[in-house]
């Protein structure tokens, strides 16, 4: 976005640079989702080529039966990226629309994103469940804390 466009937005809608920064963690999460999606298909296509399977005739049940953890884990992780992160995306829009963006929420959003990246890395590679669960808990508790603080700020 050019500086003219940014100035226009800032002047027209009273949107601050800090308010717009709240979208950086969201777009970073979009990037993570794209990376996991590409990795999942790379693993599946490699499996189909290795086993000489026609992907047009494979049923979901058959895919599940023949998939190794190296193929199944990225698929499971992609599904995970459409669970708790959806609440995160909604919360970002809430913060932006209500003009509640501040450094507390920016830092919290980046913590959430960092631990979601770690979660995906662990899940798609060596998949140590206790470690994956720990980083999942940190990311999710970070989100819940931000939501509770916003709730208190709005209603109390």
Q: Confidence band (pLDDT; 50, 70, 90) for 55?
A: confident
DSSP 156: -
Which residue is associated with the tokens 């890395």?
121
pLDDT of residue 7: 45
Compute the distance between CA of residue 71 and CA of residue 73 in angstroms, rounded to an integer. Answer: 6
pLDDT (tens digit, 9 = 90+) per residue, 63-88?
999 999 999 999 999 999 999 999 99
Residue 91 is predicted with a pLDDT of: 98
pLDDT of residue 13: 56
pLDDT at 115 over 60: yes
């Amino acid at each position: 976005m050019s500086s003219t466009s940014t100035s226009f937005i800032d002047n027209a809608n009273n949107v601050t640079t800090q308010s717009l920064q709240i979208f950086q963690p969201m777009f970073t999460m979009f990037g993570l989702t794209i990376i996991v999606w590409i990795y999942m298909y790379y693993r599946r296509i490699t499996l189909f080529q290795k086993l000489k399977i026609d992907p047009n005739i494979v049923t979901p049940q058959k895919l599940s039966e023949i998939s190794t953890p190296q193929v199944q884990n990225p698929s499971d992780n992609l599904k995970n990226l459409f669970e708790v992160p959806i609440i995160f995306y909604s919360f970002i829009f809430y913060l932006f629309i209500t003009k509640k963006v501040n450094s507390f929420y920016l830092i919290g959003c980046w913590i959430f994103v960092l631990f979601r990246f770690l979660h995906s890395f662990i899940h798609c590679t060596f998949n140590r469940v206790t470690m994956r669960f720990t980083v999942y808990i940190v990311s999710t508790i970070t989100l819940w804390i931000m939501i509770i603080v916003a709730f208190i700020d709005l209603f109390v």
